[in-house]
Amino acid sequence: MMSEKVVDIVRYLNSKVKKNKAIRSVLIMCGEHCNRIELGEKKLLDYVTQLASKMDAPVAATGNTVIELKERGVNARKMFAAETVFYLKYSWREELGLSEKPEVVLLMGYNRDILKSIVSALEGAGVDTVVLDNIEIEEATFSLYGLSFQEWKENLEMIIKAL
């Protein structure tokens, strides 16, 4: 059974994704931890791939995650987190096939300090944030936190299934 937090995240993401299929309003930012963290037999990168596919969302990939994402057919571009935040906050350019600045950034694979910095900067830019790392970021529009690795895995799978 889905927790209230997961239901809220799914409802919110579905409202942004299905609002207008012609306009992609979600951007996924994927950090280096996506290559390192394993939940059961899957890496976080596997979940990023599924989310990108389900939402038809491009991925701004940091570190070496871009190589694996492109091999999996994901619309990904290597972009430093600071570079992505700069574009979102100050001067959006047509990056990753998004003609307009996205309304929502979904974040996975970052540590707490990086997440706090990104979320704070994007909050000031009027961009909503959904943190799917198992870290509480109070400033985020939504975040998953306080979960065991098994619960985190199950929550990610429920979100993907419900999108």
Extents of the domains making up the chain: 24-162
Answer yes or no: CATH 3.40.50.1220 is held by domain 24-162. yes
Helix axes 149-162, 44-55, angle to 10 degrees: 20
Give yes or no for a contact between 26 and 16, defined as CB atoms under 8 angstroms apart.
Answer: yes
State the pTM of this model.
0.92
The pair of structure tokens assigned to 95 is 């990056």
pLDDT score of 29: 96
In sequence order, the β-bridge partners of residue 42 are 39
CA 55 to chain centre: 11
pLDDT score of 88: 87
pLDDT score of 15: 87
Rounded CA-CA distance 87/104 in Å is 14
Give yes or no for a contact between 131 and 115, defined as CB atoms under 8 angstroms apart.
Answer: yes
Taking only the tens of pLDDT, the chain with its 163 residues reads 778 999 999 999 988 875 555 556 899 999 999 999 999 999 999 999 999 999 989 999 987 889 999 999 999 999 999 988 988 888 777 666 677 888 999 999 999 999 999 999 999 999 999 999 999 999 999 999 999 999 999 999 999 999 9
